[in-house]
Chains A and B, each alone.
Chain A
Amino acid sequence: MIISLARVITFGLQNFWRNIGLSLTTITVLVLTLLSVNILFVVNITTNRAVSAVNDQVDVSIYFRPDVQLDEAREVEAFVKSFSDVVETTLKAPDVVLAEFIKQHEREPAVIASIKELDKNPLPAVLVIKSGNPAMYRTIVEALDVPEYKLLIESKTFDNHSLVIDKINVITTRVTYLATGLTGVFGLIAFLIIFNAIRVAIYSQREEISITKLVGASNWFIRGPFLFSGLLYVVLSFGITSVLVYFGLRVLDPYIAVLFDNAFSLQQQFMAHALKLMSIQFGVVLLLVAVSSALAMRRHLRV
Chain B
Amino acid sequence: MIKFKNVSKVYTPDSVGVKNIYLDVQPGEFVCVVGASGSGKTTLAKLMFAEERPTEGAIHIGDWDITHISQREIPELRRQIGVVFQDFKLLPKKTVFENVAFALQVAGAASKRIRKVVPELLDVVGLKDKGERYPFQLSGGEQQRVVVARALAHQPKIIVADEPTGNLDALNTKEVIDIFKQINEFGTTVILVTHNREIVNSLKRRVVTLDKGEIINDVEKGRYHI
Partners in one complex: yes
Determine if A208 and B106 form an interchain contact, defined as CB atoms under 8 angstroms apart.
Answer: no
Determine if B108 and A215 form an interchain contact, defined as CB atoms under 8 angstroms apart.
Answer: no
CB within 8 Å of A: which B66-123 residues: 71-72, 74-79, 83, 89-91, 102-103, 105-111
Number of A-B pairs whose CB atoms are under 8 Å?
A: 54
Q: Interface size for chain A: under 10, 10 to 19, 20 to 34, or 35 or more residues?
A: 10 to 19
Determine if A216 and B106 form an interchain contact, defined as CB atoms under 8 angstroms apart.
Answer: yes
Residues on the A chain within 8 Å of B154, using CB: 216
Interface: A163 (CB within 8 A): no
**Which one of A1-9, A46-54, A58-66, A146-154 is at the B interface?**
A1-9
Q: Interface size for chain B: under 10, 10 to 19, 20 to 34, or 35 or more residues?
A: 20 to 34
Interface: A212 (CB within 8 A): yes
* CA A1 to CA B108, docked complex, whole Å: 7
**Which one of A96-104, A217-225, A248-256, A268-276 is at the B interface?**
A217-225
Interface: B153 (CB within 8 A): yes
Residues on the B chain within 8 Å of A215, using CB: 78, 102-103, 106-107, 150, 153
**A217 → chain B, closest Cβ, in Å?**
4
**A248 → chain B, closest Cβ, in Å?**
41
* CA A3 to CA B107, docked complex, whole Å: 10
Q: Tell me the nearest residue of chain A to B107, going by C-beta.
A: A216
Per-position binary interface string of chain B over residues 130-157, scored 1 when its CB falls under 8 Å from any chain A CB and 0 otherwise: 0000000000000000000010011000
Q: Tell me the nearest residue of chain B to A7, going by C-beta.
A: B105
CB within 8 Å of B: which A208-239 residues: 208, 210-219, 221
Spell out A's residues near B (CB within 8 Å): 1, 3-4, 7, 207-208, 210-219, 221, 303
What are the 10 closest A-B residue pairs judged by CB atoms, nearest first? A217-B106, A216-B78, A216-B79, A215-B103, A4-B108, A218-B75, A216-B75, A211-B89, A3-B108, A221-B106
